[in-house]
Amino acid sequence: MIQRRILILVLVATLAFMLAACMTGESETGTTTAGADTEPETTESIYDENGYLLDSLPSDLDFGGKEFRIFTWSNRTIWEWDATGITGDIIGDAIYNRKLAVEDRMGVKLVITKQPGEWENRNSFIQAVANNVTAGAQAFDVVGQYTPAAAIGAMQELYLDLNDIDYIDFEKPWWPGDIIESSSINGKLYFATGDITPTLIRSMGTVMGNLDLIEAYDIEDVYALVDNGTWTLDKLKEIALGLQTGTDGGRQFYGVTITNNVKYDNLFYSAGFKFVEVNSDGTISLSDDLGSERMIDWFSKCQSFLNDNPDVALLAINEAFTSGDAVFHFSGIDDVQNHLKNLDIHFAILPYPKYDTAQDEYYTICGYWVSMYSIPIDAPDPIMSGAVLEALASSGYRTITPAFYRDSFQYKYLDTEVNARMFDLLHDTLVYDTGRTFCDQINIFKAFRQAASPGSSWSSVYASNNNMWTNAIERVYNTLG
């Protein structure tokens, strides 16, 4: 849990300080060098006053007031760069203060250039980067982009290997370990995300439950199901099949609503699967899971749940859940912030269900609307790019993430202790997959989602596609590895 980790960090820092205060130094001859009449040496803490780890950037870095130019997608700048002053909004103020702090510390002026870059505009966004690189314009120090756009840019060889950039320290907690490991190809990394952007938290997948309807339908305690490890796909199917909601007084009630078939991916990852494995030698390969009996069995259950259950419907959140007409909704944390914060709905946030009770952990996947950060190959000063990226991520870890996580989500939108605990669980179980990021190049997801429709089988889909997927993965590796 994040709160628990913070408390531990504070205790560790306090104990370290106490020990340092109690100890006296000795010279090589064994005589005391600090005593009653000498000033004790002080050791600078590696934690800030709130117990958050500090970065290791040199204190004398100063880039002399240079402009630091960030090219990013306009669809998400509201959560990253658009705050222009102190307004009393917790998140906006944190974003603005982070900007000022990094500018002052690094001796730079952040300049944001943006254009649409979501799925429909991902190629034109990357084309704008490519045009500048081809022209030798040295136009940008950093690019922040939609997740699949990052893969397109990498495949066009527009980005530097972040592992070769000075000052970026991927051992630090503001760079989540799993994203670094799963996105590295032969030890090379062309994009990364973490506490540099609050879009990571907003995009976490969650199953939302209407607690009023759960009580009305006499459904067992859903939080207890999560806690005791029995929140599985079979359990969710059992609950949904037993609801028999239908129409009541002219209102249509649903057991489960799903925004679109993209949310099918969340069920895949929550069962512990991945499409692409990063091997110990740095190569990438199609996951052996995809041809396994476990996958075939899970897919059959998933397909049955999605298609044979009249209580499951594809509906946008504002068509059912926000009006109190759906018991469960397959969603993401952004829906909480976008749609539920001003509604009088008692809701639960839950992880997506496990494969079965033998699965040790829950797994959470992020949606695509996460900003991935890269350094273009023509960046005028890669050392400055690395230092400022590290400073932005480090500062975001100590300021923006806590604002989103604690002050905003946990205690404003998720206003119960148990929901805060579930939020911890989602954050602590985040996983990533090269196969998901490189969806344009490997294109497994289209077949996976289509296979979930009636009349198909995973065995036939896998048999007819695995060679094509394997070849696509090899092309990615040969280009980037």
Highest mean pLDDT among 166-175, 400-409, 415-424, 437-446: 166-175
Which residues sit opposite 68 in a β-bridge?
110
Q: How far is CA 296 from CA 194, 293, 440, 459, in A?
A: 33, 5, 24, 7
Nearest to 161 by CA among 179, 178, 183: 183
83-97, 112-126, 240-254: segment of lowest average pLDDT? 240-254
Q: Which amino acid is at 374?
A: S
Nearest to 180 by CA among 418, 189, 172: 189
Q: Specify burial of residue 66 (Cβ count, 10 A radius: 0-12, 13-18, 19+).
A: middle
The backbone torsions φ and ψ at residue 118, rounded to the nearest 5 degrees and listed phi first, read -70, -170
Question: 111-133 as b/e, with b when 16 or more CB fall inside 10 Å?
Answer: ebebeebbbebbeebbebbbebb
Residues 248-280 pLDDT 10s: 666 778 889 998 888 999 999 999 999 999 999
Note the pLDDT of residue 8.
40
Q: How far is CA 104 from CA 60, 92, 176, in A?
A: 12, 19, 26
Residues 189-222 pLDDT 10s: 999 999 999 999 999 999 999 999 999 989 999 9
Note the pLDDT of residue 344.
79
40-44, 71-75, 354-358: segment of lowest average pLDDT? 40-44
62-71, 177-186, 199-208, 425-434: segment of lowest average pLDDT? 177-186
What number of CA atoms fall less than 13 Å from residue 107's CA on the CB side? Answer: 9
Q: List the chain domain ranges.
A: 66-201+368-428, 205-365+443-464
Spatial separation of the C-alpha atoms in residues 481 and 474, rounded to whole Å: 10
- CATH superfamily to which 205-365+443-464 belongs: Periplasmic binding protein-like II (3.40.190.10)
Residues 115-149 pLDDT 10s: 999 999 999 999 999 999 999 999 999 999 999 99
47-56, 170-179, 333-342, 351-360: segment of lowest average pLDDT? 333-342
Note the pLDDT of residue 247.
66
- CATH topology agreement for domains 66-201+368-428 and 205-365+443-464: yes
In which residue are the tokens 């604690």 written?
406
Q: Which amino acid is at 79?
A: W
Which CATH number does the domain 66-201+368-428 belong to among 3.40.190.10, 3.30.43.10, 2.40.50.140, 3.40.50.10320? Answer: 3.40.190.10
